[in-house]
Structure 1
């Protein structure tokens, strides 16, 4: 499809011409979300700590991949977001996908696990959200969507560190929504159960994968929260639990 015909096809889509930043953009969910948002007319920047993505990013100018971004670093986050703003001319939204998981009981565990999951799951969301604000203020509005987890509501065995970090993401969502509610910026979170990824399938081979949440299903909910249709929704922590 030519670029002009593609632009025409995107004109009536919910996120037409909006610029969305996805952290953790080279992972399974990040890549699925980037493709989903692009299909809905958004221009998308994928940010990741990894240097490169294994999959080709389209070269039509509306999908940008930035590797080597350390989102635990304020300086690194600010540099990356300024690159995005320079490339697209503006930024309209942020999705904090970056994060990780570890299973470990407290007995005999290392505090390093708690520190590591805090860094990956909560600090990255705090740093990226803080860095995006100047750009959303310049755009006179915008969207922030965080990926928390069902475990933030009730933790299972061995999930104390993970659940605590994801509960921090949920509380960040609520506090930031209150802070920004009169600035034209909404802040919401999705709380998935088990996401259907190759890693989760390998770790739980006996599970019924059909009950899990697919990356595309989760991306659809996130895309709604980024859209104009979700303008009245802020401070929500929305369970996306499939049939788990």
Structure 2
């Protein structure tokens, strides 16, 4: 997979950082795009301060990646957000969840598509959610937005079957993160998904070896 260029949105988050570090370890060219600014791991191109809910800003960021590396081979849409909220909450988060989880993936995919189609093995890997398959209480807004990511994955995969580009999504359950440990102190995090393990699955889907898969929604659920 050397000389392939990956774009990772949400690259400063815990999962994003795990993917960036694993990709660099594989010798890939890596560009990290995030709303936040920060220090990227050595060897990665960092493009911070990008509002991925804005199509123009997203397109400009993708253009910077192409200017640096000459093309894009894979897009990993990790940028997103989560909220637990019942439907009668006084401040509904539905619009915000759709903006953070669906619009960011849509804008990045649209901006990257011309370059992915030019790759011999173009890839889009989205992050859905196992919890969106059947939403529990308080998961309506988040689950609906991630379900929309699932439908985007399936539709785009069908639309691109005549090209080199495949589109798949991972559906993780609970990730082992400091925030989740704090929110669920009585749970056993040994049963959760390690970000590094999910990163490996995503990098397989971003690789030429996954060429026979498209439109797949891949559960990555640990032992929950």
Range of TM-score over shorter length? over 0.9
**How many angstroms apart in 2 are the aligned matches of 1:183 and 1:170?**
20
Corresponding residue SS for 2:99: helix
Query: Match for residue 87 of structure 1?
Result: 68
**How many angstroms apart in 2 are the aligned matches of 1:141 and 1:82?**
19
Query: Match for residue 5 of structure 1?
Result: none
Corresponding residue SS for 1:80: helix
Instruction: Map 1:23-172 to 2 at 5 A.
Output: 23-53=9-39, 56-58=40-42, 62-111=43-92, 113-172=93-152
Report which stretch shifted further, 227-236 or 100-109: 100-109
Query: Match for residue 183 of structure 1?
Result: 163
Shift of residue 107, structure 1, vs aligned partner: 2.3
Q: Which runs of 5+ in 2 are unaligned?
A: none
Q: Which runs of 5+ in 1 are unaligned?
A: 1-14
Shift of residue 110, structure 1, vs aligned partner: 2.8
**Residue-pair matches, total:** 224
- Alignment RMSD, CA only? 1.1
Please identify the structure whose Cα radius of gyration is greater: 1
**How many angstroms apart in 2 are the aligned matches of 1:32 and 1:225?**
15
Corresponding residue SS for 1:146: strand
Shift of residue 140, structure 1, vs aligned partner: 4.6
State the Cα deviation string for residues 162-213 of structure 1 (Å, max 9, x = none): 0000000000000000000111100000000001111111111111000000
**How many angstroms apart in 2 are the aligned matches of 1:44 and 1:91?**
10
Runs of 4+ in 1 over 6 A off after TM superposition: none
Corresponding residue SS for 1:22: strand
Shift of residue 228, structure 1, vs aligned partner: 1.2
- Tell me the TM-score normalised to structure 2 length: 0.97
Instruction: Note if contact 2:121-2:208 (Cα within 8 Å) is conserved in structure 1.
Output: no
**How many angstroms apart in 2 are the aligned matches of 1:118 and 1:151?**
15
Shift of residue 109, structure 1, vs aligned partner: 4.1
Instruction: Note if contact 2:21-2:41 (Cα within 8 Å) is conserved in structure 1.
Output: no
